[in-house]
């Protein structure tokens, strides 16, 4: 039993040593701090753009409820409601400042991912900040697009049912599974982070394992976080009025650890994933060759049988002529 578990334990031990060497916890704390600090500027920018769409506060509220644990929803929703009511008269300079500030969270995450993938940041500071701002803007537009799909999905589905029934049925099934839709959004988000943020070139499919595992861990942790504080509500006795702030910091810190651990999985097991992919590809090609070889043998046998049948028919004809 020990011999069988030996390679697994050795691999896990090497993975843990790498996470310690890459200071994952420190980068998770840094990213969590700057993301929390960037939250209000980010929401200011998001709510300003939402004003120009058919989306309402209730649509944004339902999205937040889907992604955040119950214990911190009221605090976040209070901030969103205040920002939503004041974002109509935002000046362009204020908007740019908000994007610049919100990009700091992306910048902190980029630093952590660069360390995890063992790459140096060769881009200058201004370039990285501008890219962080661009990624923030793209993330906001992707979030708005997801909200529009969730809110107006039924109208889109009814229109498709009228003109393209088959596609309409597929969209109806897709929209019906909202939990699955949230999971897909998380996978795509983490896939984008692992692919775009670090200063390295990597294929999209090489980042899929970490993105999927991170999405699963994020969802399970957020659910478990809510369950824990439902059954153990005495946490507020220790921190009093600061409970919500502490919960947000704790939740974000652990979530950032999950994101960076997902990147570590991609980085540490990258060679193993490539070998597994190459082995699966080789196995598939070998099976395909074996099938082709079997088909070839069957065709040859069929040809032999056909030739034998022709010989038999010729013999029968010769026998008939002689008789």
Q: Residue 261: its pLDDT value, please? A: 92
pLDDT-above-90 percentage for the chain: 4
Q: Residue 3: its pLDDT value, please? A: 58
Residue 56 φ then ψ, to 5°:
-115, 175
Question: How does residue 279 score in pLDDT terms, banded at 50, 70 and 90?
Answer: low
Task: Yes or no: say if 272 and 10 are a contact pair by the CB < 8 Å rule.
Answer: no
pLDDT tens per residue across span 244-262? 778 778 888 998 899 999 9
Question: How does residue 213 score in pLDDT terms, banded at 50, 70 and 90?
Answer: very high
Task: Yes or no: say if 61 and 80 are a contact pair by the CB < 8 Å rule.
Answer: yes
Question: How does residue 144 score in pLDDT terms, banded at 50, 70 and 90?
Answer: low
Q: Residue 180: its pLDDT value, please? A: 75
Q: Which 3 state secondary structure label does DSSP give 203?
A: coil
| pTM greater than 0.75 (yes/no) | no
Residues 6+ away with beta carbon under 8 Å from 153: 171, 175
pLDDT tens per residue across span 41-82? 777 777 777 777 777 777 777 777 766 667 677 777 777 777
Q: Residue 143: its pLDDT value, please? A: 66
Domain parsing of the chain, residue ranges: 14-268, 271-323
pLDDT tens per residue across span 289-321? 888 888 888 888 887 887 777 777 777 777 666
Residues 77/80/81/85 CA torsion (nearest 10 deg)? 180
pLDDT tens per residue across span 14-25? 778 888 888 888
What's the chain's average pLDDT?
A: 76
Comparing 259 with 12, the larger pLDDT belongs to 259
Asked which of 71-80, 160-169, 234-243, 283-292 is least confident by mean pLDDT, the reply is: 234-243
């Amino acid at each position: 039993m020990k011999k069988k578990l030996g390679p697994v334990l050795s691999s896990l031990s090497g993975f843990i040593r790498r996470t310690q060497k890459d200071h994952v916890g420190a980068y998770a704390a840094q990213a969590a701090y700057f993301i929390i600090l960037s939250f209000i500027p980010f929401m200011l920018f998001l709510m300003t753009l939402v004003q120009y769409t058919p989306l309402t506060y209730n649509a944004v509220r339902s999205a937040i409820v889907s992604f955040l644990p119950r214990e911190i929803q009221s605090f976040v929703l209070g901030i969103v409601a205040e920002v939503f009511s004041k974002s109509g008269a935002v000046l362009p300079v204020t908007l740019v400042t908000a994007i610049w500030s919100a990009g700091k969270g992306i910048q902190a995450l980029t630093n952590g991912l660069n360390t995890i993938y063992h790459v140096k940041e060769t881009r200058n500071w201004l370039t990285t900040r501008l890219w962080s701002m661009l990624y923030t803007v793209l993330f906001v537009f992707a979030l708005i697009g997801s909200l529009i799909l969730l809110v107006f999905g039924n109208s889109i589905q009814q229109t498709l049912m009228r003109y393209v029934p088959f596609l309409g049925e597929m969209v109806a099934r897709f929209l019906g599974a909202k939990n699955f839709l949230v999971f897909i959004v998380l996978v795509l988000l983490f896939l984008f982070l692992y692919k775009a943020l670090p200063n390295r070139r990597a294929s999209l499919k090489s980042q899929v394992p970490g993105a999927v595992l991170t999405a699963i861990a994020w969802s399970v942790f957020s659910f478990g976080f809510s369950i824990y504080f439902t059954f153990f509500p005495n946490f507020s006795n220790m921190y009093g009025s600061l409970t919500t702030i502490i919960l947000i910091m704790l939740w974000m810190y652990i979530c950032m650890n999950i994101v960076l651990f997902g990147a570590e999985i991609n980085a540490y097991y990258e060679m193993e994933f490539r070998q597994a992919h190459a082995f699966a590809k080789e196995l598939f090609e070998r099976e395909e060759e074996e099938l082709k070889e079997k088909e070839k043998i069957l065709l040859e046998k069929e040809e032999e049988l056909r030739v034998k049948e022709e010989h038999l028919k010729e013999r029968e004809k010769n026998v008939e002529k002689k008789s």
